[in-house]
């Protein structure tokens, strides 16, 4: 039986040394481990081709901590997930999403990361220390989503992990930057919109990302929906209002 499958010991010394549950996998496992825990998207990601390319370039080239910033609803999470899905093969130890929206206390941030990665708390040690030592040389991407509610806890964890784990990169989403050394903040722009004056011809409206998204979502609700000369101005106005 492998060490990971043994029952927990009651010996305090052994408990203090036992940090890993099953990440990325234990010797002897027959099935390869998953390379990520990213959710399967149930709707398409409209537009953002330029943004995806730019974020990937910055993340892989020179930014160990890249924070996507912007107001709520601007698409930070969807952009982060799209980028993360595209770069899984760049990180041999995987890409791991940690969702922070439901947390209320800064101390819960390390616990959320440990739970996602399968790292167990050790007696008489700070969890951030345990995480740092366990993840040490691993080449991985950590996606911290919705950091704005716990900026202090998120920034403390990110700073500690980046200092201890030279091959780790972090992609964060937040309404504000985390404010630590080495961070690169990237403002997520709004989807492209038609102007309020001189509405373009009907055939050009789908070139705008916001209109394309509206048409796709409307079609999912009412399959007969299509953009016409009659409803085009109203759709463009709705998109501008929602932006």
Domain residue spans in the chain?
32-187, 202-242
pLDDT at 240 over 60: yes
Quickly name the fold that domain 32-187 has.
Rossmann fold (3.40.50)
Tens of pLDDT, residue by residue over 135-183, are 999 999 999 999 998 999 999 999 999 999 999 999 999 999 999 999 9
| pTM for the full predicted model | 0.75
Residue 4 has pLDDT above 70, yes or no: no
The yes-or-no verdict on residue 5 having pLDDT over 60 is no
Q: What are phi and psi of 15, to 5 degrees?
A: -65, -40
- When the pLDDT of each residue in the chain is averaged and rounded to a whole number, the result is 84
pLDDT digits (tens, 9 = 90+) for 13-55: 444 444 444 455 444 444 456 789 999 875 566 668 889 999 9
- Span 189-205, average pLDDT: 84
Question: For 87-95, what is the mean pLDDT?
Answer: 95
Q: Averaged over 221-229, what is the pLDDT?
A: 89
């Amino acid at each position: 039986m492998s060490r990971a499958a043994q029952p927990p010991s009651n010996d305090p010394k052994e408990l203090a040394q036992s940090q890993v549950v099953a990440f990325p996998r234990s010797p002897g496992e027959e099935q390869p481990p998953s390379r990520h825990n990213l959710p399967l998207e149930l709707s398409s990601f409209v537009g953002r081709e330029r943004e995806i390319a730019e974020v990937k370039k910055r993340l892989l080239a020179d930014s160990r901590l890249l924070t996507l910033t912007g107001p709520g609803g601007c698409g930070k999470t969807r952009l982060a997930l799209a980028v993360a899905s595209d770069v899984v093969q760049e990180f041999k130890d995987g890409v791991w999403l940690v969702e922070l929206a439901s947390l209320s206390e800064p101390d819960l941030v390390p616990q959320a990361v440990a739970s996602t990665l399968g790292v167990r708390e050790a007696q008489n040690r700070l969890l951030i220390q345990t995480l740092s030592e366990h993840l040490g040389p691993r080449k991985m991407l950590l996606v911290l989503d919705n950091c704005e509610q716990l900026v202090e806890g998120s920034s403390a964890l990110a700073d500690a992990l980046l200092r201890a784990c030279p091959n780790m990169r972090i992609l964060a989403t937040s309404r504000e930057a985390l404010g630590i050394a080495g961070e690169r903040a990237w403002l997520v722009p709004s989807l492209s919109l038609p102007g309020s004056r001189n509405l373009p011809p009907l055939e050009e409206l789908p070139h705008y990302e916001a209109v394309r998204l509206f048409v796709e979502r409307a079609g999912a609700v009412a399959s007969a929906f299509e953009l016409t000369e009659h409803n085009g101005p109203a759709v463009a106005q709705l998109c501008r209002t929602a932006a």
